Structure 1
Amino acid sequence: MQETAPPAPHPARDPEPAPAQPRPAERVEIPVPSVQRARERGVAAAANPIVLRTEELTKSYGDLLAAAEVSIAVHAGSFIGVVGPNGAGKTTVLSMISGLNRPTSGRVTVHGIDVWADGPKAKRLIGTLPDRLRLFDRLTGAQLLYYAGVLHGVEEAVLSTRARELAQAFGLESALERPVSDYSAGMQKKIGLACAMIHAPGVLVLDEPFEAIDPVSASNVTEILEKFVAGGGSVVMSSHSLDLIQRVCDHVAVIVDGAVIAQGTVDAVRGGVSLEERFRSLTRTEEAGKGLEWLHGS
């Protein structure tokens, strides 16, 4: 029986190259105009004098420490956002800055004037929109603006003109003769903002100024505040909208458990990621819905 020769081996072939791994997409950031303006404003403001300073501002209620040695410096022409989780101490800090809530210790100065040692003089330099604002709602809008102006020492010769111009700017001119009690929540917020600005303060301290305001009015309010800052004023504003803070503010302070855990320019604090991502990292926010598997059905 004739044996057959074994088949000749195939010539060795080079191994096929592994498929190329896709490169991670690079983050390309194209700032919207308001963000670019905020960046430029922050650079310019850094050369301006400090107009508002808190030094180790502390507030305790018995064993509860609501604010812990908060130190913030605000330059002329700066727009600073204050952010933090619910109950972090934002409202406590802003109310102490405004002269509405006496600190346990620490100091607040505006243009070098101690807010708690010389309150009347300091408060004429500050415009305040506090949290859960209670207005004299039996007054008409016009009467409320007049009352706010007189309290802040505005001369009657200019008071009516300022009230009319503010009402027009905030879209309230048709509501001035109506009682404030008839205003919607958003309208009450806007008349409160107008009252905070009627004495032409150098610093505005605003606690959630965009709450309950519709998108069109919010855009209008943003423009008003940006013009105020462009004219040399300074704004300290709290908000739960991190997107808003990122778009309009040049500086940000993050407060957690009553303490400032990060502050600086918005770009420096967010560190190359979105402000929301950075906020979640700083506050160690857990994944939403964790432990709620029963809620999602079987």
Structure 2
Amino acid sequence: MIVFENVTKRFGQLIAVKNLNLTIGKGELFGFLGPNGAGKTTTIKMLVGLVTPSSGSITVNNISVTDQPEAVKRISGYIPDTPFIYEYLTGREFLYFTGHIYGVEETKLRENIEKYIALFEMDDWVDLPAIEYSHGMKQRIVISACLIHNPEYIVIDEPMVGLDPKSAKIVKNILIDKTKQGVTVFLSTHTLSVAEEICCRVAIINKGELVVDGKLDELKALSGKKEMNLEEIYLEITEKNNR
């Protein structure tokens, strides 16, 4: 379970996230939506321990992200909005490097690496240095690295950017399968069709504050228009909030 309790983050006079309260249960595929500058990436960086809240608390599996960040990182996988790989490592070397950091047993690590190389069809280029990779190639390596230690929690900021349709479909299937296994997924995306397709629950943040949180049917009921899709609901809610 992921719990945000009265979480606020200030950067000088700017309040990036204000009094955020959220609970994401085990096995949920949770979509976190909002316009640019709404506070999504700041929230994610606080969740993975890269940014410290100004006030409030965040716990993952009852472990404080602030007090025990390494314990949280051991059971989590993080895919940032911009994929990073050491340029002069090959993709395979980077996956081994990541697995060793997490202490994955060697035989299991080799199995996992070969599984994701095959799944994402990386055989032709995984042994080339990453400096030669396209954005989409890097993204496939970073997604594989996130999954290499079989995390209990997966935190993703814009996972589909740069992916071809086939790879995007593979990622969606992986996330759905992982939640069926009890893994919790916290997904931030601007691709509302993806959120509508795979998320069991979504929240919308705007100007640093949580605007709405619920299942799609609940959001449709709030709008009073059951025929609306998530994109229409999102636009209606954020436009009202901007007035």
**TM-score scaled by structure 2?**
0.93
Of 95, 98, 102, the residue aligned with 1:145 is 95
- Does the alignment pair 1:246 with 2:201? no
Of 156, 165, 172, the residue aligned with 1:206 is 156
Shift of 1:170: 2.0
Alignment partners' CA distance in 2, 1:133 and 1:216: 19
Segments of 5+ residues of structure 1 without an aligned counterpart are 1-50, 287-298
Greater relative CO (CA pairs within 8 A, separation 6+): 2
CA contact (8 A) 2:40 2:188 kept: yes
Say how many residue pairs are matched: 236
Alignment partners' CA distance in 2, 1:208 and 1:236: 11
Shift of 1:239: 0.8
CA contact (8 A) 1:229 1:235 kept: yes
Shift of 1:105: 1.3
Compare CA radii of gyration and give the structure with the larger one: 1
Q: Percent identity?
A: 34
What SS is found at the alignment partner of 2:38? coil
Where in structure 2 are the equivalents of 1:87-166 lying within 5 Å?
Answer: 87-166=37-116
Query: What corresponds to 1:281 in structure 2?
Result: 236
Give the root-mean-square deviation of aligned CA atoms: 1.4
What SS is found at the alignment partner of 1:174? coil
Query: What corresponds to 2:35 in structure 1?
Result: 85
Counterpart residue identity of residue 4, structure 2? T
Alignment partners' CA distance in 1, 2:95 and 2:133: 14
**TM-score scaled by structure 1?**
0.76
Alignment partners' CA distance in 1, 2:209 and 2:78: 22
- Does the alignment pair 1:226 with 2:226? no
Alignment partners' CA distance in 2, 1:123 and 1:168: 26
Query: What corresponds to 2:123 in structure 1?
Result: 173
Query: What corresponds to 1:53 in structure 2?
Result: 3
CA contact (8 A) 2:83 2:135 kept: no
What SS is found at the alignment partner of 1:173? coil
- Alpha-carbon distance change, 62 to 146 in structure 1, aligned in 2, over 3 angstroms: same
- Does the alignment pair 1:186 with 2:141? no
Segments of 5+ residues of structure 2 without an aligned counterpart are none
Stretches of 4+ aligned residues off by more than 4 angstroms: none
Shift of 1:103: 1.3
